[in-house]
Amino acid sequence: KQEVTQIPAALSVPEGENLVLNCSFTDSAIYNLQWFRQDPGKGLTSLLLIQSSQREQTSGRLNASLDKSSGRSTLYIAASQPGDSATYLCAASFTGGGNKLTFGTGTQLKVEL
């Protein structure tokens, strides 16, 4: 069974700190991996998408990496701000899965003043 897990489940950091969110997946036959942000009671905002042939993607203060051999992806947030407070979800699609996304359990981030 293809599973995606995220650690930690919750994280609280002071403003300005750099932080790393972790995502692991059980199947190395990954097609792509996405990181999303979800605010309370809201839908998903796509942050970064990494194709299986890529190792990382960057957008502003965000950098996501993908290591297929170890089954891991990380989302690095630089110089965190209170506005970054949200739940971050990673989701993977796997080869032969028809682009179905398997979501991780999420990391709830709080950036404090």
Partner 1 sequence: GAVVSQHPSWVICKSGTSVKIECRSLDFQATTMFWYRQFPKQSLMLMATSNEGSKATYEQGVEKDKFLINHASLTLSTLTVTSAHPEDSSFYICSAEAPGPTDTQYFGPGTRLTVL
Choose, by CB under 8 A, the member of 32, 57, 65, 73 that binds partner 1.
Answer: 32
Contact status: 52 vs partner 1 (CB under 8 A):
no
Residue-wise over 8-36: b if at least 16 C-beta within 10 A, else e? eeebebeeeeebebebbbebeebbbbbbb
27 binds partner 1 (CB under 8 A): no
Token reading at 2: 């293809």
Distance CA 110, CA 98 (A): 34
- Please report whether residue 58 would count as binding partner 1 according to CB under 8 A: no
The bridge status of strand 30-38 relative to strand 44-51 is antiparallel
Nearer to partner 1, 14 or 43 (CB): 43
Nearest CA among 8, 39, 11, 36 for reference residue 24: 8
14, 39, 40 from 65: Cα distances, Å: 24, 23, 26
Select from 12-20, 65-73, 77-85, 86-94 the region that touches partner 1 (CB under 8 A). Answer: 86-94
Nearer to partner 1 by Cβ, of 18 and 46: the residue is 46
94 binds partner 1 (CB under 8 A): no
Residue 110 found at the interface with partner 1 (CB under 8 A) = no
Q: Given the rule CB under 8 A, which residues bind partner 1?
A: 32, 34, 36, 41-44, 46, 49, 51, 89, 91, 93, 98-106
